Structure 1
Amino acid sequence: MADGKRAVDSAKVWTTLVTNMAYLPGLLTLDYSLKKQKSAYPLVALYTDGFPAEGIAALEARGIPHQRINYLLPKTTKDYSNDPRFYDCWTKLSCFGFTQYDRVVQLDSDMLVLQNMDELMTIHLDDPAVAAEGGPDSKRVFAASHACACNPLNKPHYPKNFVPENCAFTSQHSDPDTAQTVGADPTVGPVRMMNGGLMVVNPSDAIFQQIAHFMDENAPAMEFADQSVLSELYSGRWVALPYVYNALKTIRWEGVHRPIWRDDKVKNIHYILTPNPWDDLDDEGNSTGKDETHQWWAEVNKERKADESNRGVNGDGF
């Protein structure tokens, strides 16, 4: 958990977790993209003890608010050797306990904001007391987009029911216009899982305690760490956002969910899987990767660096 103090004078914030230097380029460009799209709300970088001093210096040089939080792990955990990234994902659940803020929208650092999405700060969610009590009146504990259950890379350790016909996005192929504004019903289908890349939260001590208890009791069975916890604990009680708020780059691929993807509708792209877009830059900062969306990130990253240079922030500082 954090120390209970606000890192910035705002009741509503974007937050993003950084545990090591590998994702710092993504965080810096995420922050720049939010500002480029004129968000009225600040991004707070949440860092753990493993994040080094040079990383904190890079945040401070850019005026990015930052806050130390504890690294969160369950009492026992699943073996994620096939997907080590999931070990860090437990800590993202901490945002549910940030009661110093009224609204938190947690973002992954490998995201790029392409359009203003400040409306996420005001969408209706259950009052925390109602959400904590549960029952028939609680259907909006948090908001998120669906996970893609297609397994386009055919990872052998993924659940057997992760096939295109079971994916929530597949159900929207016949009505792509609606898919831009409405998420598929999270109470329908064999795979009812949210993606943890973007989470809209009304923080609550009681809700966080529910999550922490469920995590401790069930972690070895949670295939996708935080995503599995929230999807199971609050099954049928979360708001499904349209893909445009957490547009997994794989959705755009041919043979996945290209029928619903619209470049001009995407508000926030999520660069899931490796390589990250900052991993395939040439000496001029241009993308050398095959994925066209990596070029989008590279262009905004170059804008960021030019802007920083004009403000006297020379180099990334790491």
Structure 2
Amino acid sequence: MNVVFFFSQTDQAFVTLATNDSYAKGALVLGQSLRNHNTTRKLVVLLGPHVSDILCCREALSSIFDEVFMVNLMDSGDGAHLALMKRPDLGVTFTKLHCWTLTQYSKCVFMDADTMVLSNVDELFEREELSAAPDPGWPDCFNSGVFVFRPSNETYKQLVIFCAENGSFDGGDQGILNSFFDTWATTDISKHLPFIYNLSSIAIYSYLPAFKKYGHNAKVVHFLGKVKPWNYSYDAQRGEVRGHSIPPDQCQMHPDFLLKWWQLYARSVLPVLQKAYGNASFNSGFVDPSNHVGVVLESVRYFFKHLKSHVIFIQSFKYVFQLWIAFILQEKEQKWLF
């Protein structure tokens, strides 16, 4: 019998950030995915003050992460640049810069809480600062959802000064980090991570043939964009992901990865949340399959909300039609009561 030993590397860590309840769920899924794929590194999460129940949230995170650090929120407040991307929520991603203060670790890999690991990625620690994958929107910039860095109080200080003096060209952390590490695109190719370490769910549909050819090699999926997995709901009885209130034209998420996220959440994260929160209420994200009226009302609300253009009308009608068909098929053997 072959025995495999896993030796823990205690001076290196995967790091993520949870600024609110939703991103805390994402962090839990990310952390559990790293555990499931037998990482030998420590897991660290930075927790912002905007979670509804600090104690319960911290307890849940502590069950998966080795260390939970409370950090102050850093917001760019740069509404003009954030408006260009239609993402005002990204201002608080400046809080990510706190990761450089984790000087008890010699090297770290930062991963956004909307990422999920699909296989072991410990080999990332063989890379040097600042290693990252190209951003699908502008490949001469790196995407700051996954990057290798070396904690340093001096680097942190320089980043904060740089922020104050120069701001961010996109209003978020990615603009700052690309401007600060401005030689990434042209100097050391070894700092360019393959796209499989930061597979953008949006990029899948922009070059579908490449995804069909290479997608099976993906090691990290990144749910980029406005719509996150937790914006959906999950029917545990059917094992199906249900819709959300975001217009279809704004959502480009591969259904296989979305289902994987929810399956991991249902199997490993929800029990952790239930234990931590006890009798306290929290949004589990699960739907009540017996609540047929709620499903129908959801479709009607969605239909009328998005009658703003011909395109949205057709998309809304398609969405409503699909919900009604599902409802009718489920009820076909039951008696209608009015």
Counterparts in 2 of 1:206 and 1:282: CA distance versus 1, 3 Å:
closer
Tell me the CA shift for residue 282 of structure 1.
Answer: 2.8
The structure whose residues are more often strand, as a share, is 2
What is the alpha-carbon distance in structure 2 between the residues aligned to residue 73 and residue 299 of structure 1?
33
Counterparts in 2 of 1:9 and 1:70: CA distance versus 1, 3 Å:
farther
For residue 84 of structure 1, the aligned residue among 69, 84, 88 is 88
| Structure 2 equivalent of residue 300 of structure 1 | 264
Deviates more, 1:60-69 or 1:235-244: 60-69
Deviations 1:169-196 (CA, angstroms, capped at 9, x unpaired): xxxxxxxxxxxxxxxxxxxxxxx21111
| Structure 2 equivalent of residue 145 of structure 1 | 133
Identity of aligned residues (%): 24
Deviates more, 1:65-74 or 1:264-273: 65-74
| Structure 2 equivalent of residue 43 of structure 1 | 43
Confirm whether residue 286 of structure 1 aligns to residue 286 of structure 2.
Answer: no
8 Å CA contact 2:169, 2:176 repeated in 1: yes
Counterparts in 2 of 1:97 and 1:78: CA distance versus 1, 3 Å:
farther
What is the alpha-carbon distance in structure 2 between the residues aligned to residue 142 and residue 112 of structure 1?
21
Counterparts in 2 of 1:112 and 1:258: CA distance versus 1, 3 Å:
same
Counterparts in 2 of 1:213 and 1:114: CA distance versus 1, 3 Å:
same
SS in 2 for 1:296: helix
Confirm whether residue 108 of structure 1 aligns to residue 143 of structure 2.
Answer: no
| Structure 2 equivalent of residue 173 of structure 1 | none
| Structure 1 equivalent of residue 207 of structure 2 | 257
For residue 236 of structure 1, the aligned residue among 160, 183, 190 is 183
Counterparts in 2 of 1:213 and 1:62: CA distance versus 1, 3 Å:
closer
Counterparts in 2 of 1:216 and 1:294: CA distance versus 1, 3 Å:
same
8 Å CA contact 1:34, 1:113 repeated in 2: yes
Structure 1 gaps, min length 5: 1-7, 126-140, 150-166, 169-191
Structure 2 gaps, min length 5: 1-7, 244-252, 283-338
Tell me the CA shift for residue 41 of structure 1.
Answer: 1.1
| Structure 2 equivalent of residue 271 of structure 1 | 223
For residue 103 of structure 2, the aligned residue among 96, 99, 115 is 99
Counterpart AA for 1:59: L
SS in 2 for 1:241: coil
8 Å CA contact 2:109, 2:148 repeated in 1: yes
| Structure 1 equivalent of residue 5 of structure 2 | none
Deviations 1:124-164 (CA, angstroms, capped at 9, x unpaired): x2xxxxxxxxxxxxxxx411111121xxxxxxxxxxxxxxx
Deviations 1:232-256 (CA, angstroms, capped at 9, x unpaired): 2222247221111111111211xx1
Tell me the CA shift for residue 78 of structure 1.
Answer: 4.5
What is the alpha-carbon distance in structure 2 between the residues aligned to residue 118 and residue 275 of structure 1?
28
Structure 2 length as normaliser, TM-score? Answer: 0.66
Structure 1 length as normaliser, TM-score? Answer: 0.70
SS in 2 for 1:259: helix
| Structure 2 equivalent of residue 246 of structure 1 | 198
SS in 1 for 2:58: helix
8 Å CA contact 1:15, 1:46 repeated in 2: yes
What is the alpha-carbon distance in structure 1 between the residues aligned to residue 266 and residue 50 of structure 2?
28
Counterpart AA for 2:241: S
8 Å CA contact 1:305, 1:315 repeated in 2: no
Counterpart AA for 2:36: K
8 Å CA contact 2:94, 2:172 repeated in 1: yes
8 Å CA contact 1:277, 1:287 repeated in 2: no
The structure whose residues are more often helix, as a share, is 2
8 Å CA contact 2:117, 2:220 repeated in 1: yes
Question: Whose radius of gyration is greater, 1 or 2?
Answer: 2
Counterpart AA for 2:112: D
CA RMSD in angstroms, aligned pairs only = 2.5
Tell me the CA shift for residue 92 of structure 1.
Answer: 0.8
